[in-house]
């Protein structure tokens, strides 16, 4: 008899977690509480409730976390301009600490002694979820079915689901596995099927949020983004909440073929994996934020942020959102954003995000009187540059003499 009495399952209603729900009941003979997070995946969540009810679940949580997700997780990450391995905008990674946080809150509220997730033993998500659980509730028990059961493939999961009468959507026409997909308000990801061969081009019909750049509109679209302390607060002069901003940027970016990525990345568990991502709104947001910082941040502050960014991005990718080092970095990053106020004008065209204007009435460090190629009226003494160059060349001249 298991000592687990009640477990909170992160439940999507899809293949993996539906099988897990049945498996938990059969294996642990415990009460299961389901938790489904609405973080903007764009799917109707009531089917998840209905599925849970069919399993006899009494406590079902379906929470709208979209605003919290963008306000407290996505926006802080974009203040850092975080990009993993030069390309990945961390769409899956940044959602996991929020889900873990809410799971622990529900476990406390319901008196559960364990939590469970559907991440596989080969992926990063198991690490992200569980580091979050332990950081927030050190004594919590964790059940990770993929590390315990013998259902080691999508085909076995489908067979288990069929044997137990569990309905599964998106079965492949030829009987194979569906893509492994993850969606939220920041992105949608795809893994599996032909993507397991990194030499093969993804099928065009795989993409859901964006049109191909080749068939995007032939006319560019302009938009203005207004920033306050590093966060977008208005789009085309209309004030919006964080989730509203990202939703609209996804729509605009997707219509212009923006935000597709085909990536082979290094997972934290040691292997390389190939995935495809659609992040239209995030791609626009990153470009705009860097443009805003370009005229409002001091040079050395901007360079320091760029030095720290890979470390910050790696902390998010590997699941250390709740770590003291990430919190410390966030404090520094947020402090740098005090002057990041103003507007950026962008042009969207066939997969490209092009900055065409930026200004800050209160915090711009750009001085046209100094940088002009015309007569600056003595604002900058060009003769001063000679001594500046000689001093900076001193160590190079000394080294050159030694080499002779």
Query: With b meaning 16 or more CB within 10 Å and e meaning fewer, what string describes 39-63?
Result: bbbeeebeebbebbeebebebbbbb
Query: Is the separation of the CB atoms in 292 and 339 below 8 Å?
Result: no
Q: Which of 12, 18, 93, 180 is catalytic?
A: 180
**Cβ(374)–Cβ(355) below 8 Å:** no
Helix and strand totals (H; E) in the chain: 13, 14
Contact present, 379 and 370 (Cβ < 8 Å)? yes
CA geometry: angle 69, 75, 81, nearest 5 deg: 135
Look at residues 90, 96, 138 and name the one whose alpha carbon lies nearest to residue 117.
96
Give the residue among 367, 394, 319 at the shortest CA–CA distance from 136: 319
Question: Is residue 180 annotated as part of the catalytic site, yes or no?
Answer: yes
Structure tokens belonging to residue 196: 């397991």
Q: Provide the token pair at 354.
A: 């092009």
125 catalytic per annotation: yes
Q: In this structure, how many other beta carbons lie within 10 angstroms of the beta carbon of residue 366?
A: 12
Annotated catalytic residue within 12, 16, 260, 326: 16
CA gap 22, 392 in Å, rounded: 69
Helices assigned H by DSSP within 92-222: 96-110, 125-136, 154-163
- Residue of 12, 102, 125, 182 with catalytic role: 125
Catalytic site residue from 66, 79, 96, 102 = 96
- Rounded Cα gap, residues 207 and 25, in angstroms: 36
96 classed as catalytic: yes
Catalytic residues: 16, 96, 125, 180
């Amino acid at each position: 008899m298991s000592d687990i009495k009640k477990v909170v399952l992160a439940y999507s209603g899809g293949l993996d977690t539906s099988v897990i729900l049945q498996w938990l009941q059969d294996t642990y003979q415990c009460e299961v509480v389901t938790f489904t997070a609405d973080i903007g995946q764009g799917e109707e969540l009531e089917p998840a409730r209905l599925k849970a009810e069919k399993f006899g679940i009494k406590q079902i949580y379906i929470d709208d976390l979209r605003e919290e997700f963008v306000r407290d997780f996505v926006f802080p990450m974009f203040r850092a301009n975080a990009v993993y391995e030069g390309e990945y905008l961390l769409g899956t990674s940044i959602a996991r600490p929020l889900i873990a946080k809410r799971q622990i809150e529900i476990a406390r509220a319901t008196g559960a002694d364990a939590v469970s997730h559907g991440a596989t033993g080969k992926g990063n998500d198991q690490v992200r979820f569980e580091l979050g659980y332990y950081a927030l509730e050190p004594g919590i028990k964790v059940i990770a079915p993929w590390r315990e059961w013998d259902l080691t493939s999508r085909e076995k999961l489908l067979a288990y689901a069929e044997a137990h009468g569990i309905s599964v959507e998106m079965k492949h026409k030829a009987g194979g596995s569906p893509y492994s997909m993850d969606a939220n308000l920041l992105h949608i990801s795809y893994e599996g099927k032909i993507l397991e061969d990194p030499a093969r081009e993804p099928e065009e019909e795989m993409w859901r949020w964006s049109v191909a750049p080749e068939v995007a509109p032939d006319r560019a679209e302009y938009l203005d983004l207004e920033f306050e302390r590093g966060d977008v607060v208005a789009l085309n002069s209309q004030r919006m909440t964080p989730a509203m901003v990202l939703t609209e940027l996804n729509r605009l970016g997707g219509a212009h073929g923006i935000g597709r990525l085909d990536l082979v990345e290094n997972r934290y568990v040691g292997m390389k994996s190939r995935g495809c991502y659609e992040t239209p709104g995030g791609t626009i947001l990153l470009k705009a934020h860097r443009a805003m910082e370009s005229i409002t941040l001091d040079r050395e502050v901007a360079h320091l942020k760029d030095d720290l960014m890979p470390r910050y991005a790696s902390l998010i990718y590997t699941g250390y959102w709740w770590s003291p080092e990430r919190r410390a970095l966030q404090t520094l990053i947020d402090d740098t954003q005090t002057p990041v106020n103003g507007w950026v004008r962008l042009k969207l065209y066939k997969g490209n995000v092009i900055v065409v204007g930026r200004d800050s009435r209160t915090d711009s460090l750009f001085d046209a009187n100094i940088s002009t190629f015309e007569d600056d009226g003595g604002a900058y003494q060009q003769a001063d540059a000679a001594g500046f160059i000689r001093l900076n060349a001193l160590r190079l001249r000394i080294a050159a003499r030694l080499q002779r």
